[in-house]
Amino acid sequence: MVLMLSAAANIFYTTYFSDTKSAPPTPAQPTPQLTDLSQAQPATTTADMGLGAEPLKMRVAQAVVATIELDFGGQVPSIADALQQIERLYQPDDGQGRTFAILDAYGEATPDGKLHISMHISSEKTGMGMLKFKRTGNLLWRARIGNPGEPPAGKKELSIYLSKGTGDGSNYVLDGKRGGGSVLDVFIQNSEQRVRDVWPNGAERELTFVYSACGCPVKVLCVRAGDRTARTKEQPVIFPDDPAAVSMISGLMKW
């Protein structure tokens, strides 16, 4: 885990986020670099948690949404705290690293005092992946990812999109190669305008972050507050398995 975090940090220190004008990935080594959010791979919501005789079958660089109700036997925790009680278990075919990552999570308390939580899971390399509830020891989700010998997903790089606020789903693509330490000082791709020029003070906008093997988007709502931004909703919890990415995003957004 320490080696993985160090590698992730090195990626961020090298570059803020991906150059979306780079060549498209080859099928053998997919990457999350996108020029159009419509290319993002949707996650499959499934009631099959892979807990029967056969685990859930996934490809490398695929995403699923696992939805579970958890009983904490008392006060229902926040989603962020609940994620700390869900153990990630990896059995990679090559014996190294992890096989999947949780991209984001959201949910709410149920009337009977349980936590209804949905987790967006992205597969990264071949092997087994599992989630276990620490409080009870019960397996919550189990998947067989790919086949031995298949290549892992390509290196993850951060891409960021800002909604235009026009209501038609259109986005600005942020050019991470040009700009300062704040998202407001980053240039719009193929433009001489910066984010501060297109994001009015006090306006709420949707930010989309892509940092996943599957190329799946993670979306949050933010308001511009002078030279900072602030999230207007605490959910979803983003990239809980990639703290280096969260630190980078938080610093850029000035959260």
Placement of tokens 């092997």 in the chain = 127
Mean pLDDT of 134-162: 96
- Is 79 among the domain residues? yes
pLDDT band per the 50, 70, 90 thresholds, residue 48: confident
- Is 187 among the domain residues? yes
- The pLDDT value recorded for residue 2 is 38
Instruction: Please report, rounded to a whole number, the percentage of residues in the chain having pLDDT higher than 90.
Output: 78
The better pLDDT of the pair 180, 21 is held by: 180
Query: How far is Cα 236 from Cα 219, in angstroms, rounded to an integer?
Result: 8
Q: How confident is the prediction for the chain on average, in pLDDT? A: 87
Query: Domain check: are 135 and 167 in the same one?
Result: no
Query: Domain check: are 161 and 182 in the same one?
Result: yes
- The pLDDT value recorded for residue 21 is 38
The pair of structure tokens assigned to 254 is 């000035």
Dihedral in degrees, nearest 10, Cα atoms 14, 17, 20, 24: 70
Domain range for residue 214?
Answer: 13-21+155-253
Query: Domain check: are 207 and 116 in the same one?
Result: no
Q: Which of 118, 145, 172 is the last residue of a domain?
A: 145
Instruction: Please report, rounded to a whole number, the percentage of residues in the chain having pLDDT higher than 70.
Output: 82
Query: Domain check: are 137 and 164 in the same one?
Result: no
Q: Domain containing 127 — which CATH number?
A: 2.60.40
Report yes or no: 37 and 171 within 8 Å, Cβ to Cβ: yes
pLDDT at 239 over 70: yes
pLDDT band per the 50, 70, 90 thresholds, residue 180: confident
- Is 150 among the domain residues? no
pLDDT at 20 over 80: no
Query: How far is Cα 117 from Cα 95, in angstroms, rounded to an integer?
Result: 30
- Is 105 among the domain residues? yes
Number of domains present in the structure of the chain: 2
Query: Domain check: are 238 and 204 in the same one?
Result: yes
Mean pLDDT of 109-117: 97
Q: Which of 121, 145, 169 is the last residue of a domain?
A: 145
pLDDT band per the 50, 70, 90 thresholds, residue 40: low
- The pLDDT value recorded for residue 78 is 98
pTM: 0.84
- Is 36 among the domain residues? no
Q: Which of 145, 178, 198 is the last residue of a domain?
A: 145
Mean pLDDT of 3-21: 42
- Is 104 among the domain residues? yes
Query: Domain check: are 221 and 173 in the same one?
Result: yes
Query: Domain check: are 62 and 121 in the same one?
Result: yes
Half-sphere CA count of 154, side-chain side, radius 13 A: 14
- Is 26 among the domain residues? no
Query: How far is Cα 152 from Cα 29, in angstroms, rounded to an integer?
Result: 7
The better pLDDT of the pair 3, 223 is held by: 223
Query: Domain check: are 120 and 178 in the same one?
Result: no
Q: Count other Cβ atoms within 10 Å, centred on residue 202.
A: 9
pLDDT band per the 50, 70, 90 thresholds, residue 33: very low
Query: Domain check: are 74 and 120 in the same one?
Result: yes
